[in-house]
Amino acid sequence: MSSEISPKADISPKAKIGDGCKIFPFVYIEDDVVIGDNCVIFPFVSILNGTRMGNGNKIHQGSVLAALPQDFEFVGEKSELIIGDNNIIRENVVINRATHRGCKTVLGSNNFLMEGAHISHDTVVGNRCVFGYGAKVAGDCNIGTGAIISSNVVEKANTRVGEYAVVQAGTTFSKDIPPYIIAGGHL
């Protein structure tokens, strides 16, 4: 089964695209990219060097995957963004690749990222997580399986959210959130 790729998409011939993908017009895909089977890439998505994407993902308009790390330590080293299977990444989501050579930003499988969410460099996200509108996760964070990061949450660098924790809308935090709790406010 071949993929349906718009002739108006700008895709490097070096990129590896799986079977059964649908790639809309005005998508931009760089050289060092691997996309699995049955993915849907909507218009105006940029998938940059270092992206390794699994199967069944849907990437909506205006999203940028493997954007350069927003880290003063970044000097252009080759790093990766690893994305699992069956994720839904809605409009204008930005996910940065890792800062240093051989390092990875990781998004597991079956996650849902709502419009405007941002996952920064070297962050590791488990499976079945939800990120609300405009949620911002700084670099070097770890988010456990099943966590819910509600709308307009700001997670500061080097923090962890435990599995199945819920962070309420508008929360800003610089401390770890334990598993299985509901957290809110300024922590």
Distance of alpha carbon 83 from alpha carbon 60, whole angstroms:
15
Q: Of 108, 116, 118, 122, which is the active-site residue? A: 122
Distance of alpha carbon 139 from alpha carbon 137, whole angstroms:
7
Distances in Å between the Cα of 45 and the Cα atoms of 28, 54, 122, 161, 172 are 6, 17, 21, 28, 29
Residues with Cβ within 8 Å of 92's Cβ and at least 6 positions away in sequence, in order, are 61, 62, 63, 115, 116
Q: For this structure, is 186 an active site residue?
A: no
Distances in Å between the Cα of 9 and the Cα atoms of 105, 127, 154 are 26, 30, 34
Query: Considering all CA atoms of the chain, what is the largest pairwise distance in Å, rounded to the nearest integer?
Result: 51
Which residues are registered as beta bridge partners of 89?
59, 113
Distance of alpha carbon 7 from alpha carbon 140, whole angstroms:
38
Q: Of 36, 60, 121, 144, which is the active-site residue? A: 121
Tokens of 166: 């819920």
Q: For this structure, is 60 an active site residue?
A: no
Q: For this structure, is 139 an active site residue?
A: yes
Q: Of 134, 139, 144, 146, which is the active-site residue? A: 139
Q: Which residues are known catalytic residues?
A: 121-122, 139
